[in-house]
Structure 1
Amino acid sequence: MDVLIVEPLDAEVLHWLGERHAVRYAPHLAGEPYEFRRSLFRVRAMIVPPSVALDAQAVGGAPMLRAVGRLSSGAENIDLEACARAGIEVVRPTTASAAAEAEFVIGALLQMLRRVPVLSDDGLLVGRELGSMRVGLVGMAPAARPLAQLLGAFGAQVVGYDPALHARDPLWQRWGVEPTGLPELFERCDAVCVLLTYFSRYRGLVGERLLSLARPNQVLVNLAHSSLFEEQALADALRTGRLAAAWFDSMEPGMLDPGRPLRHIDTLQVTPRVASTTLESRSRSAWSVARRIDELLGGKSSDEDFVITVRDDLVDLADGPEPG
């Protein structure tokens, strides 16, 4: 078998892959971990959902595996080090969800600016307009480019920080973002959007030192891993009003449990990782992953024209469309 697909996949993408390789489409294996691992011995590539763990033991049971695809950008369920040691490429879309994430950030900012009013000079509680603000982007992830464009269309000024980018890097100018230091970003900005790719060395990066610098009535949107934040420092900033509001698109399990610092904070909004999940972004992601897997497997399979296995049944497929 060339490709095992455990994640539900767009029918057109499935047909396209099936024309080129022997494909088994078995989303039911996501709920059957033992059967999933048994099926890996002759698999050369797979596409798995976040609920399926691919740890070192599973990698060891897949000697022919050369590629693992994920339709979303995260890879928390995959042992990246084990894959690297085995020469397995983890295929993830790099820009497919950028537009969706940028739109999500704009929506989150607009909601917070209206739903969490501030005290005006004449003593009234009022909302605010995005176009009057300076917005700071932490991390020049792919979503930063369309986000900067959308913010500019509103009239907002955009500044940014990325530990991997020098201030003279031409990317800043191309993306329309003014580079600045991280402390200065928190001091100067009315809104902060955290997009930074997570590495263990960044754990707790945003803590008391930075949050104490937050501009009055600052709002924050986080699409990055919640471990970038010091839990107690974030709770203190929200409870004291140093941060007017924060929106996290996912948090580590347990962070909102009873007894934890962030429990019952009205100005904290948490969504279940929905920023990157749209009909359009999922289609772009599926095509991106499928094309790369096809490249890694060397194009059309020599021993099968287009057969897809659905559970244990073989189904012949009509010609699918070429990717657009």
Structure 2
Amino acid sequence: MDVLIVDTVDADVLGWLGSRHELHVAPQLAADAFALRAALETVRALVIPPGVALDAATLRDAPRLKVVGRVNAAAENIDLDACVRAGIEVVRPAAAHAAAEAEFVVGALLQLLRRVPIINAEGLHVGRELGGAVVGLVGITPSFKPLARLLTAFGATVKGYDPGVHASDGLWSRVDVEPSGLQALVRGSDALCLLLTCHTRYHGLFGERLLTEAKMNQVVVSLSHARLFDEVALAHALTEGPLAAAWLDAVEPDLLAPGRPLHGVTTLQTTPRVAASTHESRIRGAWAVARRIDEVLLAAPRGDFRTTRPAALAGLAIGPTPA
């Protein structure tokens, strides 16, 4: 079998890919790990949803696997190191979801600024406008540039920080965003948008030291995983500290469970990774994954087992839809 699809993929994409390779669509395997592993023996390309785990043990049951695709850009449940060791390319079309994520962040900011009132100098509870606000963006991802454009169109002042990009780098002028240090960004922003990929070294980055220095009545929208925050510090900042409200779009299932620091915090909203989940972005992502799978399979001899030589992880730019 050339391609096994264990996700919901647009029919046009399936039709195109199926016209070029032997294709089997079995989304039901997402709920049956044993059956999935049994099906992998002859599979050369695999597309899986975020809820399906792909670890080293599973890869041992897939000796011919060359490429793994994820229509969603997240890498949860995929052992990237094991894939590299096995010479398997992992395709995650992050750029396909950039526009959807940018729109989601703007919508979340508009809701938080208007829905969570502050007390003005006259003692009235009032909402706020995005136009004229200072918005800090943390992390240069594919959604950074379209988000900066949208915010600027609303009349916001946009500043940015990325731990891997120096303030003197020409990238800042190309995205038309003023660079800032992280502490200064937290202190001076009316709204903070976290886009940063949450590597282990960033866990708890937004802890007491940073959150206690946030600008008064600041709102936070995060597409980064909630592990970027120290839970105790975030709960304190939302209930006793300077934050007016926060919206987290990537959280673990029991983050708000009784006994956890954020349980019962009414100024916190969470969503299960819906920022990138639009009809349009899934179609763009599916086409990008399908095109790369096609390229890999055409380049790899059909009868060969995979080599152990590591392959580079793929980053994709979205081009025109295949004919």
TM-score (norm: length of structure 2): 0.92
Whole-Å Cα distance in 1 between the matches of residues 185 and 23 of structure 2? 49
Contact map agreement 1:21 1:301 (CA 8 A) in 2? no
> Against the structure 1 CA distance between its residues 134 and 43, is the aligned structure 2 distance closer, same or farther, given a 3 Å change threshold?
same
**CA deviation after TM superposition for structure 1 residue 229, in Å:** 0.5
Contact map agreement 1:250 1:270 (CA 8 A) in 2? yes
Paired position in structure 1 for 2:183? 183
**CA deviation after TM superposition for structure 1 residue 176, in Å:** 1.4
Paired position in structure 2 for 1:269? 269
**CA deviation after TM superposition for structure 1 residue 302, in Å:** 8.2
Whole-Å Cα distance in 2 between the matches of residues 302 and 189 of structure 1? 54
Paired position in structure 2 for 1:3? 3
Please say if 1:33 is aligned against 2:33: yes
> Against the structure 1 CA distance between its residues 41 and 300, is the aligned structure 2 distance closer, same or farther, given a 3 Å change threshold?
closer
Paired position in structure 2 for 1:122? 122
Whole-Å Cα distance in 2 between the matches of residues 9 and 89 of structure 1? 20
Paired position in structure 1 for 2:315? none
**CA deviation after TM superposition for structure 1 residue 94, in Å:** 2.2
Whole-Å Cα distance in 2 between the matches of residues 226 and 97 of structure 1? 20
Contact map agreement 1:22 1:301 (CA 8 A) in 2? no
Contact map agreement 2:3 2:24 (CA 8 A) in 1? yes
The number of equivalent residue pairs is 306
Q: Runs of 5+ in structure 1 lacking a partner? A: 304-321
Contact map agreement 1:21 1:300 (CA 8 A) in 2? no
Question: Which residue type is aligned with residue 127 of structure 1?
Answer: G
TM-score (norm: length of structure 1): 0.92
2:41 partner SS = coil
Cα displacement string for residues 45-89 of structure 1 (whole angstroms, at most 9, x for unaligned residues): 100011211111101111111110001111111111111110111
> Against the structure 1 CA distance between its residues 302 and 264, is the aligned structure 2 distance closer, same or farther, given a 3 Å change threshold?
closer
Paired position in structure 2 for 1:315? none
Whole-Å Cα distance in 2 between the matches of residues 3 and 302 of structure 1? 12
Whole-Å Cα distance in 1 between the matches of residues 199 and 272 of structure 2? 21
Whole-Å Cα distance in 2 between the matches of residues 261 and 99 of structure 1? 33
Paired position in structure 1 for 2:134? 134
Paired position in structure 2 for 1:84? 84
Identity percentage of aligned residues: 59
Whole-Å Cα distance in 2 between the matches of residues 262 and 94 of structure 1? 30
Whole-Å Cα distance in 2 between the matches of residues 302 and 19 of structure 1? 17
Please say if 1:174 is aligned against 2:160: no
- Taking the TM superposition and a 5 Å limit, the aligned residue runs for 1:180-259 are 180-259=180-259
Paired position in structure 2 for 1:279? 279
Whole-Å Cα distance in 2 between the matches of residues 242 and 216 of structure 1? 4
4+ residue runs of structure 1 moved beyond 4 angstroms?
Answer: 299-303
Contact map agreement 1:19 1:300 (CA 8 A) in 2? no
